[in-house]
Structure 1
């Protein structure tokens, strides 16, 4: 399948941000809303509802319902410049996140009664699964404020209370006390992988945090020095539709991170 428009742009250049004139002002408004006691921006919720479709049945976690881009959605083939926000990584269920969510559902004791941080949370799938598996406290961290609204909507679809959504960049910040950090599809850029490397080391050294990584074997992930510090926990064969959407990637794995401290 050949994808065009916004979806193709996302998959080819995930680490490149498209800059639109309307983005900055809109995202500032959303940030203010999310950091206050007001409910998520109704107009953004409406936009998400009208431009995504409830899906997920063909993923590694068919028991989850998520608002995603599908071929039935306008922006599957629409010109990218017409999209009014930052790149909507939250509208795609990436294969690393799928593997991570599947692993947690199959092993609920991993996050049961734990304090969990989902970094680069996107659609919120892993944070939702942590909730479903009985985590005591869940934080979903994504620098795109629209992702936080999408996460709230996806929680509603799955009948769970939304996690705390943090839109500040937590990578590089002073480590907080989390029992488990989840990272799905975050090693798509070498510079980001390097910054994650140092920050995760500090989190583990300071609090003994467990770190789980989901990745389908992208070149930037396989070629980075951090790869030798990862130990495979599970491997999942991707469904056919997910393979087609990710240029033929066939498997996605979950890794535990054990740094040399």
Structure 2
């Protein structure tokens, strides 16, 4: 699941929203046990807006939160699911998706895992670039439904969506693993570091990371093992509500460094 950190244009209101409903004591039901996929699809359709032009990847359309959406202002206790991190197009994911679209040979014909896939933008970019097989992994089941909807919105067959926590599990043989905005917590960063090492050593997997420079990323020891591949200046509309954030970068994880 993609988590809060430095924010994209739509997120200041969402940050307030998430902070507010975390303070409510109402138990939340899981999307699997309480709601059908049809209900979730209808809910997402009714409570998001199709956007794209304000991001680094205007050719990719996504259903996201905007100020025109109901839950931008609605009482948080009425939200029926877990925190809606899938409804934000985070800056690390934007950079990673832009890099793939600019360099389609990176994933052409490859098997790809988009870890912490959120709205599915990077998985979409991989598929648009000719990836042979795409798996989107996010522990929020609502994110899986949103990813399916976003693939369909872009005229693509939906990917395989996994909602189990695979960090720390036996690595599968993916050619590529993509991580956008996953280094928001030091403990998670350490777990990722160990697991990614195993993926690389076991299968020779190539790992690409998108991050706008969060402290947990810049200060972690994994940072010394990364080679920068690209830097993207964020659009003005993205900068306005990002507390000084102006760019986002793509890195290749090279543990031999």
What TM-score comes out, normalization by structure 1 length? 0.89
Once the two structures are superposed, residues 86-119 of structure 1 have per-residue CA deviations (whole angstroms, 9 ceiling, x without a partner) of 1111100000000000000000000000000000
SS in 2 for 1:231: strand
How many angstroms does 1:25 deviate by? Answer: 4.1
Once the two structures are superposed, residues 155-198 of structure 1 have per-residue CA deviations (whole angstroms, 9 ceiling, x without a partner) of 11100011100000111110000000000000011011000000
Which of 40, 47, 50 is matched with 2:46 structurally? 50
- Summarize the alignment of residues 1-261 of structure 1 with structure 2, pairs less than 5 Å apart: 6-10=14-18, 21-29=26-34, 41-260=37-256
Distance 1:94 1:175, change over 3 A: same
Q: Aligned-residue CA RMSD in angstroms? A: 2.3
Q: Distance in 2 between matches of 1:71 and 1:126?
A: 24
Once the two structures are superposed, residues 59-100 of structure 1 have per-residue CA deviations (whole angstroms, 9 ceiling, x without a partner) of 000001000001111222333332211111110000000000
SS in 1 for 2:240: helix
How many angstroms does 1:56 deviate by? Answer: 1.4
Unaligned runs of 5+ in 2: 1-8
Q: Report the number of matched residues.
A: 249
How many angstroms does 1:249 deviate by? Answer: 0.8
Maintained 8 Å contact 1:5/1:79:
no
Unaligned runs of 5+ in 1: 31-39
Distance 1:17 1:187, change over 3 A: farther
| 129-138 or 240-249: bigger deviation | 240-249
Structure with higher RCO (Cα < 8 A, 6+ apart): 2
Distance 1:165 1:19, change over 3 A: farther
Maintained 8 Å contact 2:111/2:176:
yes
What TM-score comes out, normalization by structure 2 length? 0.90
Maintained 8 Å contact 1:56/1:65:
yes
Distance 1:195 1:29, change over 3 A: same
How many angstroms does 1:8 deviate by? Answer: 2.9
